[in-house]
Structure 1
Amino acid sequence: MNITHRPVLLAEAVTALTNGPLIQNQNAAQNILVIDGTFGRGGHTQALLKQLPASARMISFDKDLDAIAVAKQINDPRLTIVHDSFAQMDQYMAAESVDGILLDLGISSPQVDEAHRGFSFRREGPLDMRMNTDQGMTAAEWLEQAPQEEITHVIKTYGEERFAFQIAKAIVAKREEGSSPKTTTQLASLVAGVVRTREAGQDPATRTFQALRIFINRELEDLELGLKAALKLLKPGARLAVISFHSLEDRIVKQFLQAHAKVEVPRGLPVREKDLPQSALEIIGRIKPSDLEISENPRARSAIMRVAEKRMGVLA
């Protein structure tokens, strides 16, 4: 099987999950169930399978039909493939039934490199950007009908783009001329004509393309739902590892973990620390790629992995 995607923090992610107390306990080996929430091109899934016992089970999710096609080439009876978002994973199994969950939130290299997917501003292709090409509007279709205020909001919120208003105005002006952007290079050229300054080494269209991709695929909504589902599914003692690639994702992950790693007590309530109820999660750590990994795979440079463990005796 030809895998062109280089998974980020591969060894670190496998270690983070398999070093959890449940998987380390060989008495529970026959019951081990691990979830890879984003199969991608299977790097993390296959590395985890190599470390799991023959009696373990693994479920990998992905919205992308191309990823599902690759996943079906893996000949391992322990692996189950689900064409769905990880946001829905709690619909496929019972609460507190999972020993480890990995969420790699980055898009795969083939998604960026294959021009027909519409994710890359460097390659000419239809302005699609859908992870699941079976459903939903393409980015071009949305830009064809969305109000200027909504386009501005999306680009500003999901791209953190300070020229969002000007970009949206230019898109609507083109639309009114009958030449709304239909391809990646048309949109990239339009944005470049508006964004006059940008960080060194960053294409003017970077933030706009990020914003549209996140919006079209409901990535942040899926992340919030997926984190809630993960907390419900993890057994006490099981681990969650989440790899994010930009500040919007990482902020959601960080705040979710922190919120469930502490117990809120109303101010002034006379409660001793030993009498407090136990928080649901213990934060294990925050890991970034090594300099060597970044030099070998520049797409890893913005990655952050956060790891947490569900506390024993806690119900989600």
Structure 2
Amino acid sequence: MKKLGNIIMRLHKKTQITSPKNSASWEFKFMTVHDSVLLNEVLESLNPDANQDFIDGTLGGGGHAEEILKRILPNGRLLGLDWDKDAVERVQVRLKKYDNNVVLINDSYIRIKKHVYENGFSSFDGILLDLGLSLDQLKASGRGFTFQQDEPLDMRYSVDNELTAAEIVNSYSQTSLETLFREYGEEGQAGAIAKAIVTKRKEETIDRTVQLVDLIKEVKGMNPWTRTNPATKVFQALRIAVNQEFDNIQSVITDAIELLNPGGRLAIITFHSLEDRIVKEYFKMESTSCICPKELPQCVCLHKARVKLVNRKPITPSDKELQDNRRSRSAKLRVVEKLDVMKLQNVTNNYKK
């Protein structure tokens, strides 16, 4: 727990930047990639079967949800959530023929327990969480998630919230911007970009994506050896900061594990190293029976493993998927299986006798 806490605290301490007074507390939203990244691998890992109950906490385009539903008929049910109202409405149309087997909720899954109990569910055989941006949202939201179009520099998952990427870019100090880009975007030229932003905003407000992209290109130039846009890492950092994406990872995983039946599995797809690191360390902690510092002669933490790792290393896309869908190139799938704690306790007690 201490190691994981240090990772998250380090990220937050270094980004405790002076924000506008109206930047309300934000909640975390996960979204799936429209092309259903790692679809076959997810299905193989979760292994949905007839009459089981599942959660897709990040509906996105509904691809994962639809394939799970096909396998849990006739009496299985799926609870699907997404904080994007448009995404939920699109999935409702897509999954219309499964009306008796699916419950769709327009909300962040950080409130997953609330919707589980309100809709007559109790426990689940599998849960899927995908931390990637939906291609639909990238192309159709008009909220500045993509640097390929000229849009307002917004990046909010929910328009009900206040803080925007434009506010960050135009009000945070140079030091705060540099820290943000380095810690949340792992941007090697964070200092130079932050300095250029502060200089540019004295001349004009930076409130369009194209303004920020052009500025970053001037600082970094175009790398002829890669097709990756030079603004990618800065946009990632801003999106994470605007939506406070790291704040609720621990609590969400904790809730998901609690909701699983013994033998049930939790699958999480990440798309960049910061998210993957947090998920990896949390899974490691939850699969370890003692998390005391190594220097202690005996265990005093009383921590018990709740899950086991299904795969030691993350599952990555196949060569074919990489060829068909370039957006899958950074995807990693990690899976854990819930242990039967009572069974393990009985075995331990019998062994002691």
Is 1:205 paired with 2:234?
Answer: no
Per the normalisation by structure 1, the TM-score is 0.87
- What's 1:290 paired with? 318
Offset, 1:284: 0.5
Q: Which of 110, 125, 141 is the equivalent residue of 2:151?
A: 125
Contact 2:37 2:331 in 1 (8 A): yes
List alignment gaps of at least 5 residues for structure 1: none
Question: Within the alignment, does 1:106 sit opposite 2:147 as a pair?
Answer: no
- Tell me which moved more, 84-93 or 206-215: 84-93
Residues 1:88 and 2:111 are matched in the alignment: yes
**Residue 268 (1) aligns with residue 297 (2):** yes
Matched, 1:44 2:67: no
Structure 2: 5+ residue stretches without partners = 1-32, 345-353
Q: In structure 2, what is the equivalent of residue 144 of structure 1?
A: 170
Task: Please state how far the C-alpha of 1:106 moved relative to its aligned partner.
Answer: 0.8
1:7 is matched with 36
Between the aligned partners of 1:278 and 1:222, the Cα distance in structure 2 is: 22
Query: Displacement, 1:207?
Result: 0.5
Deviation of the 1:197 alpha carbon: 7.1
Structure 1 CA distance for aligned equivalents of residues 54 and 170 of structure 2: 42
Question: C-alpha distance in 2, partners of 1:310/1:72?
Answer: 30
Q: 1:111/1:171 Cα in 2 relative to 1: closer, same or farther (>3 Å)?
A: same
How far residue 181 of structure 1 moved from its aligned partner, in angstroms, is 1.4
State the distance in 1 between where 2:195 and 2:280 align: 34
3-state DSSP of counterpart to 2:341: coil
* Matched AA of 1:114: A
Instruction: Say whether the 8 Å CA contact 2:285–2:291 is kept in structure 1.
Output: no
Structure 1 pair 203–36 and aligned structure 2 pair: CA distance change class (3 A) = same
Query: What is the total number of aligned residue pairs between the two structures?
Result: 298
Match of 1:71 in 2: 91
Deviations 1:73-118 (A, max 9, x none): 2312211112222222123235972221101111111222237131
**RMSD in angstroms over aligned alpha carbons?**
2.4
Instruction: Find the residue that maps to 1:220 and give its secondary structure.
Output: coil
Shift of 1:277: 7.4
- Is 1:312 the counterpart of 2:340 in the alignment? yes
**How much has 1:312 moved relative to structure 2?**
0.7
Give the fraction of aligned pairs with identical amino acids, expressed as a percent: 39
Q: Does 1:184 align with 2:209?
A: yes
Distance 2:194 2:278 in 1: 26
Aligned partner letter, 1:88: R
Misfit runs of 4+, over 4 Å? 196-199
- Taking structure 1 as reference, are residues 124 and 265 closer, same or farther at Cα in structure 2, changes over 3 Å only? closer
TM-score (norm 2): 0.78
